[in-house]
């Protein structure tokens, strides 16, 4: 699945690419295959993941002809399991870079791939058993939740009634909720309801309609994700509810960053969770084979608040997300 999109830049990739220049003669003479298994563009963020994975595939193969990168997308956890079986059956994989659709369903299949001696890089949504992975790359999901909650507690004066939308049952969703609720629990703010909307805009719209029907007053909404935030905002606007003072998401979607830059009163902040982390993980994995740079451990990208004052630093008009 070769692609040919124009490249993007990010600090970690640039640093690692610099390290790859020191490739050894032995590494240049050996062929390596790196499979990349990611969710299909089922919503905005994963659309960004696909874009950046394809960019990194082209850049790595151009720089290192002895590395073959295979990018595979899947529209469900079941499809991703089947994709892994196909990739393993038809290729001798030196490495697998995987962003699991769900944690529980992909843990066993990834463990099976690892049993063949394949280097495992896990991105974003962790596995149920982290001991399987050699390398883990993700944003700081606890900070995404905690930083948003601290801002909300301050703006609401430490009291009020809010509702929360969860994503897909995964490790990263658990971490975001943990970071958010640990801060909220120290205030007098009451979480009226908290349910899954699967990081899907349409499901978020429907869930928010249910919340609005059940609760006559909602001071704020934490949608957990910018795709879901758009569904929430649509539901609130259709209901004509002016009690919702703040509606916040996360991930730094281009459309939401534009709202922050414009000083939107209801959505004045966001938090970054860049889909380009898949490319960072791919470059790190390539370094494991193409350079004298053994890659082991966990790498977390920070999640500072995006405000009108710094929003331009997180705004990329040519990005699909």
Angle, CA of 254, 10 and 15, to the nearest 5°: 170
Spatial CB neighbours of 128, under 8 Å, sequence gap ≥ 6? 103, 104, 107, 171
Q: What is the CA radius of gyration of the chain?
A: 20
152-167 confidence digits (pLDDT tens): 999 999 999 999 999 9
Tell me which residue of 88, 82, 124 sits closest to 103, measured CA to CA: 124
Per-residue pLDDT of the chain (321 residues; tens, 9 = 90+): 333 332 333 334 444 444 444 444 455 668 999 999 999 987 778 888 998 899 999 999 999 999 999 999 999 999 999 999 999 999 999 999 999 998 889 999 999 999 999 999 999 888 999 999 999 998 899 999 999 999 999 999 999 999 999 998 888 899 999 999 999 999 999 999 999 999 899 999 999 999 999 999 999 999 999 999 999 999 999 999 999 999 999 988 889 999 999 999 999 999 988 888 999 999 999 999 987 788 899 998 888 899 999 999 888 776 777
Domain extent listing, the chain: 32-133+275-301, 141-262
Same fold, 32-133+275-301 and 141-262: yes
Alpha-carbon distance of 150 to 7, in angstroms, equals: 36
Burial class for 230, CB neighbours closer than 10 Å (0-12, 13-18, 19+): buried
194-249 confidence digits (pLDDT tens): 999 998 999 999 999 999 999 999 999 999 999 999 999 999 999 999 999 999 99
CB atoms under 10 Å from CB of 194, counted, come to 16
Distances, alpha carbon 247 to alpha carbons 24, 57, 96, in Å: 52, 36, 38
Tell me which residue of 129, 37, 114, 121 sits closest to 79, measured CA to CA: 37
Q: Domain 141-262 adopts which CATH fold?
A: Rossmann fold (3.40.50)
Tell me which residue of 181, 187, 131, 132 sits closest to 155, measured CA to CA: 187
Under CATH, to which class is 32-133+275-301 assigned? alpha beta
Using DSSP's 3-state secondary structure scheme, residue 242 falls into: coil
């Amino acid at each position: 699945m070769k692609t040919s999109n124009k490249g993007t830049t990010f600090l970690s990739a640039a640093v690692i690419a610099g390290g790859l220049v020191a490739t050894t003669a032995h590494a240049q003479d050996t062929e390596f295959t790196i499979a990349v298994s990611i969710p299909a563009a089922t919503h905005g963020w994963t659309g960004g993941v696909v874009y950046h994975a394809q960019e990194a595939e082209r850049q790595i193969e151009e720089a290192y002809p002895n590395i073959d990168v295979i990018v595979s997308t899947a529209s469900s956890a079941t499809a991703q399991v089947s994709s892994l079986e196909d990739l393993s059956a038809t290729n001798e994989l030196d490495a697998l870079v995987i962003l699991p659709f769900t944690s529980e369903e992909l843990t066993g299949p990834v463990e099976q791939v690892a049993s063949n001696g394949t280097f495992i890089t896990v991105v974003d949504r962790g596995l149920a058993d982290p001991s399987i992975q050699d390398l883990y790359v993700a944003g700081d999901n606890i900070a995404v939740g905690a930083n948003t909650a601290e801002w909300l507690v301050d703006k609401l004066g430490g009291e009020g009634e809010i509702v929360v939308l969860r994503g897909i049952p995964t490790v990263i969703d658990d971490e975001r909720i943990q970071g958010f609720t640990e801060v909220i629990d120290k205030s007098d703010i009451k979480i009226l309801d908290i349910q899954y909307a699967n990081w899907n805009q349409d499901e978020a719209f429907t869930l928010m309609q249910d919340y609005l029907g059940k609760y006559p007053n909602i001071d704020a909404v934490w949608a957990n994700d910018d795709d879901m935030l758009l569904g929430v905002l649509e539901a609130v606007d259709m209901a004509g509810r002016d009690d919702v003072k703040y509606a916040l998401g996360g991930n730094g979607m281009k459309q939401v960053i534009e709202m922050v830059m414009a000083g939107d009163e209801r959505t004045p902040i966001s938090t970054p969770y860049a889909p380009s982390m898949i490319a960072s993980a791919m470059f790190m994995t390539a370094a494991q084979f193409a350079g004298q740079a053994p890659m082991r451990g966990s790498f977390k990208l920070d999640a500072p608040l995006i405000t009108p004052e710094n929003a331009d630093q997180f705004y990329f008009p040519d990005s699909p997300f």
